[in-house]
């Protein structure tokens, strides 16, 4: 008998040890005396006295196994339960042009130009809706479905968003279209008006505003003329509030944010968005974060999560892992592109997997005009579908195996030349979160 390779231990600083099964995503707590007694039993067969019931429980729940073969069987059973890929998220890039020139933008080479060829036409929008109709019809089962209008700045081509929704209504009237598709737009907020807010609200299109919350942190988000944009975005957020338009915030954690975190948190609380989503910096040729950035960014996210949850406001990236931890459920992918569950449709109709590759069109191997396109038969999607820690050899012994999601394949490719390389920055992030989850559960259990 031995501890499973998926069993990991966390010293909690008093007389307790956190025990986490990284494949089954389960946690429990032992006293250090129990742990020592079980270790002695496994090492030289000493009899179990106080810890016998504990050892029986550990064995019946796979923390203890008879052999490595039992671990292999458990792993195989978990893998067999994974559903095949299904397109759950679609980015409709209605334009690659942008009226901002954010200093940390990882697709700045694309959005910093102003090119008519980078603007989606009605012909491409119509073909995109027809492609999605065929895709949804092939996979008629229960899974999340979201269509997100994206850019550049999507409101620069608001007419196409309107046309796209008209085409959806046209297709709905004569062909299969699932009733549970959700719609969203991610905007920098500078072009919001009463008119387009009304359209978004009437069509149930969720609004996410990229906004770094306080003026000092938002200073990275300059316009094409190099001017600050804080005031115009903040005024348009107030317009949303006045027009009773629910909105979420997408917040990039910059070095400025970390230096001014108290002000950021207070402003979030005052704005009362539906949800927030923190984004860590993605390295690119214009930006290399400091050595300690990812530790500090993760600690900032944890601190904010602890305070915001008391107000019923949840941060998306943290909440995904918290929910998996609570549900004892494998969290396979931290982005929909991993696993081949995402379509990105470029303004020219190109079909890709990840919007990070809009720069060079890598993994954009088809077009919406191809009536026979089926992502299940695409070599690119086949290549991406196992991009999860659960399938990656370097991740098998990691305490974050079942709850990490693997971070960003694009970042891994940029740093190490392959989407199947480790996203090192996310390893730092995930390990800190898992430790916090164990410690937080322990403190709540003690209470």
**Which pLDDT score is estimated for 113?**
57
**Which pLDDT score is estimated for 142?**
76
Q: pLDDT category, 78, cuts 50, 70, 90?
A: very high
Average pLDDT over residues 384-398: 94
Q: What is the pLDDT of residues 170-218, one digit of tens each?
A: 999 999 999 999 999 999 999 999 999 999 999 999 999 999 998 999 9
Q: Provide, rounded to the nearest whole percent, the portion of the chain with pLDDT above 70.
A: 98
Torsion of CA 308, 310, 312, 314, to 10 degrees: 30
Among residues 423, 421, 430, the alpha carbon closest in space to that of 399 is found at: 430
Higher-pLDDT residue of 86 and 235 is: 235
**Which pLDDT score is estimated for 51?**
83
Q: How high does pLDDT run on average in the chain?
A: 92
Average pLDDT over residues 24-38: 94
Q: What is the DSSP letter of 282?
A: P
Q: pLDDT category, 433, cuts 50, 70, 90?
A: very high
Average pLDDT over residues 252-259: 92
Contact call for residues 291 and 241 (beta carbons, < 8 A): no
CA 9 to chain CA mean position, Å: 27
For the cut 80, the answer to whether the pLDDT of residue 312 exceeds it is yes
Among residues 19, 21, 22, 42, the alpha carbon closest in space to that of 31 is found at: 19
**Which pLDDT score is estimated for 355?**
93
Q: What is the DSSP letter of 56?
A: H
CA distance readout (Å), 424 to 75, 175, 407: 24, 45, 9
Structure tokens that stand for 209 in this block: 């505003």
For the cut 80, the answer to whether the pLDDT of residue 328 exceeds it is yes
Structure tokens that stand for 418 in this block: 């392959």
Average pLDDT over residues 290-314: 92
For the cut 60, the answer to whether the pLDDT of residue 112 exceeds it is no
Structural domains for the chain:
2-81 (no CATH), 89-352 (3.20.20.70)
Number of Cβ atoms within 10 Å of the Cβ of 161 = 23
């Amino acid at each position: 008998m031995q501890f499973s390779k998926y069993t990991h231990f966390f010293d909690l600083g008093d007389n307790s040890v956190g025990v986490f099964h990284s494949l089954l995503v389960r946690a429990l707590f032992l006293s250090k005396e129990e742990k020592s007694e079980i270790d002695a039993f496994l090492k030289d067969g000493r009899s179990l006295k106080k810890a016998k019931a504990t050892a029986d429980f550990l064995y019946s729940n796979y923390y203890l196994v008879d052999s490595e073969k039992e671990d292999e069987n458990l792993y195989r059973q978990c893998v067999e339960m994974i559903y095949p890929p299904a397109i759950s998220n679609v980015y409709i890039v209605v334009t690659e042009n942008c009226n901002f020139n954010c200093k940390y933008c990882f697709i700045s080479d694309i959005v910093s130009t102003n090119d008519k060829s980078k603007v989606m036409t009605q012909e491409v929008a119509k073909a995109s809706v027809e492609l999605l109709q065929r895709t949804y019809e092939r996979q008629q089962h229960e899974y999340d479905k979201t269509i997100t209008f994206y850019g550049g700045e999507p409101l620069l081509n608001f007419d196409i968003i309107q046309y796209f929704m008209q085409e959806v209504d046209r297709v709905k009237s004569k062909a299969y279209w699932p009733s549970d598709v959700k719609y969203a737009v991610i905007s920098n907020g500078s072009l919001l008006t009463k008119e387009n807010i009304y359209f978004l609200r009437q069509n149930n299109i969720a609004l996410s505003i990229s906004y770094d919350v306080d003026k000092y942190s938002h200073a990275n988000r300059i316009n094409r003329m190099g001017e600050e944009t804080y005031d115009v975005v903040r005024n348009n957020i107030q317009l949303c509030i006045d027009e009773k338009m629910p909105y979420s915030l997408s917040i990039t954690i910059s070095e400025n944010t970390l230096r001014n975190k108290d002000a950021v948190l207070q402003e979030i609380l005052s704005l009362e968005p539906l949800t927030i989503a923190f984004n860590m910096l993605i390295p690119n040729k214009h930006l290399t974060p400091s050595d300690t950035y990812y530790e500090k960014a993760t600690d900032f996210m944890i601190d904010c999560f602890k305070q915001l949850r008391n107000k019923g406001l949840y941060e998306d990236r943290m909440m995904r892992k918290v929910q998996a931890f609570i549900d004892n459920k494998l969290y396979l992918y931290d982005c929909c592109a991993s696993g081949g569950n995402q379509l990105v449709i470029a303004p020219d109709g190109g079909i890709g997997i990840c919007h990070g590759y809009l720069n060079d069109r890598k993994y954009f191997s088809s077009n919406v005009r191809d009536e026979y396109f089926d992502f299940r038969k695409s070599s690119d999607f086949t290549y991406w579908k196992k991009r999860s820690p659960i399938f990656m050899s370097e991740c098998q012994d990691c305490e974050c195996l079942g709850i990490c999601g693997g971070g960003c394949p694009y970042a891994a490719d940029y740093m190490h030349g392959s989407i199947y390389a480790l996203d090192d920055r996310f390893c730092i992030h995930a390990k800190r979160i898992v430790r916090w989850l164990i410690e937080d559960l322990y403190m709540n259990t003690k209470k």
